[in-house]
């Protein structure tokens, strides 16, 4: 049965369809969309043309490559897709900001985020989790997104995984207040699932701006989601660990997410090896036990 729409409804519907087409999604609907029909609907339209106000620009996804199985040895599946292009740094923070001005610069970013509704994650949010720590830290940790405890308190890594992260930081001879901690997404994904590409691609620019302000000497990506968005490539975690990457003018070390280490404590030794690379880059020595 043919359904008749008025022109405004039709335009809005087609805009939504184009949006998902640009995301690479053609099975969003109950049945796959006929490619010929999709081509007819979207003929003459520029790719990535976002005609739905309020809906963020989609990321570009090579779904064929993304769907290839990989030998990742643990359960951090459903990795997100990185943003389509490098994200610009606003002019006001493009130049190095003196340490004394970094707290204010971070506050500007927080103000810009505001009571954010840019992606669907805002609907389940109790508290937005912006970041925490020393705005001029030499070491910055990046996780995936808030969990239940973080969502309740508005601070990153305050649950059990946060306690383990604190222990990891202490083992490096540092205190939590000396580092900066943020996540790829600032609102809790339902059920702690991995952020969807739309969500991560929308929120991660704020993380990049935080990095540009803090300008840490070393970044540590906690888990595959953080590594994927920071590096802009989707690779198994095993292939990214054990070496130093260059990201946004700083050095990046990739290691396991503390939540994963809680599930599989045998990997703590591997994570410690990663942290020792970070310590080497920072010129840190492990604290001596008395």
CB 277 to ligand SF4: min, Å: 30
CB 122 to ligand SF4: min, Å: 4
- Nearest residue (CB) to ligand SF4, 80 versus 241: 80
CB 48 to ligand SF4: min, Å: 18
Site string for ligand SF4, 126-155 (x = CB under 6 A): --x---------------------------
Which two three-digit tokens encode residue 259? Answer: 């939540």
Query: How does DSSP assign 234-272, residue by residue?
Result: ---HHHHTTS-EEETTEEEEEE--HHHHHH-GGGHHHHH
- Nearest residue (CB) to ligand SF4, 116 versus 171: 116
CB 186 to ligand SF4: min, Å: 4
Q: Which of 23, 109, 121, 271 binds ligand SF4 (CB under 6 A)?
A: 121
- Nearest residue (CB) to ligand SF4, 172 versus 200: 200
Question: 221: closest CA among 255, 179, 187?
Answer: 255
On whether the CB atoms of residues 48 and 57 are closer than 8 A, the answer is yes
Site string for ligand SF4, 47-86 (x = CB under 6 A): ----------------------------------------
Question: Count of alpha carbons within 13 Å of 261, Cβ hemisphere only?
Answer: 20
C-alpha to C-alpha distance for 207 and 210, rounded to whole angstroms: 5
- List binders of ligand SF4 among 181-240 (CB under 6 A): 185-187, 199, 202-203
C-alpha to C-alpha distance for 11 and 146, rounded to whole angstroms: 36
CB 12 to ligand SF4: min, Å: 22
Length of the chain: 290
Query: First-to-last CA distance in the chain?
Result: 80
- Identify the residue whose tokens are 């010929």: 36
Which two three-digit tokens encode residue 169? Answer: 């930081």
Q: Segment contacting ligand SF4 (CB under 6 A): 115-123, 161-169, 211-219, 231-239?
A: 115-123
Q: Which of 12, 33, 38, 113 binds ligand SF4 (CB under 6 A)?
A: 113
CB 32 to ligand SF4: min, Å: 28
- Nearest residue (CB) to ligand SF4, 202 versus 255: 202
Under rule CB under 6 A, residue 116 binds ligand SF4: yes
Which two three-digit tokens encode residue 153? Answer: 């308190």
Which two three-digit tokens encode residue 213? Answer: 């302000």
On whether the CB atoms of residues 128 and 110 are closer than 8 A, the answer is no
Task: Name residue 204's beta-bridge partners.
Answer: none
- Nearest residue (CB) to ligand SF4, 74 versus 122: 122
* Local structure of residue 166 (DSSP, 8 states): H
CB 249 to ligand SF4: min, Å: 23
C-alpha to C-alpha distance for 164 and 158, rounded to whole angstroms: 9
On whether the CB atoms of residues 197 and 59 are closer than 8 A, the answer is yes
- Nearest residue (CB) to ligand SF4, 11 versus 78: 78
Kindly list the residues in this chain that would bind ligand SF4 in the complex (CB under 6 A).
Answer: 113, 116-119, 121-122, 128, 185-187, 199, 202-203
């Amino acid at each position: 049965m043919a359904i008749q729409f008025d022109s405004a409804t039709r335009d809005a519907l087609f805009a939504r369809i184009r949006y998902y087409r640009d995301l690479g999604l053609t099975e969003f609907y109950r049945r796959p969309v006929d490619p010929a029909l999709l081509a007819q609907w979207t003929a003459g339209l520029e790719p990535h043309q976002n005609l739905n106000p309020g809906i963020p620009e989609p990321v570009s996804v090579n779904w064929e490559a993304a769907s290839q199985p990989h030998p990742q040895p643990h359960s951090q599946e459903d990795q997100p897709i990185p943003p389509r292009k490098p994200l610009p740094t606003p002019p006001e923070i493009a130049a190095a900001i003196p340490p004394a001005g970094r707290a204010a610069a971070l506050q500007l970013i927080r103000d810009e985020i505001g009571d954010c509704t840019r992606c669907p994650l805002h609907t389940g949010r109790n508290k937005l989790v912006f970041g925490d720590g020393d705005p001029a830290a030499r070491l910055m940790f990046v996780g995936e997104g808030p969990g239940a405890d973080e969502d309740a308190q508005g601070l990153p890594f305050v649950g059990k995984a946060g306690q383990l992260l604190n222990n990891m930081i202490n083992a490096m001879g540092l205190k939590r207040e000396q580092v900066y901690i943020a996540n790829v997404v600032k609102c809790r994904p339902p059920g702690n699932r991995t952020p969807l590409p739309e969500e991560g691609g929308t929120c991660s620019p704020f993380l990049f701006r935080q990095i540009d302000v803090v300008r840490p000497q070393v970044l540590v990506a906690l888990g595959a989601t953080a590594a994927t968005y920071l590096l802009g490539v989707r690779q198994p975690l095993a292939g990214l660990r054990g070496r130093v990457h260059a990201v946004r003018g700083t050095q990046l070390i990739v290691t396991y997410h503390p939540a994963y280490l809680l599930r599989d404590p045998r990997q703590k030794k591997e994570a410690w090896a990663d942290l020792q690379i970070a310590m080497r880059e920072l010129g840190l020595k492990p604290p001596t036990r008395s």
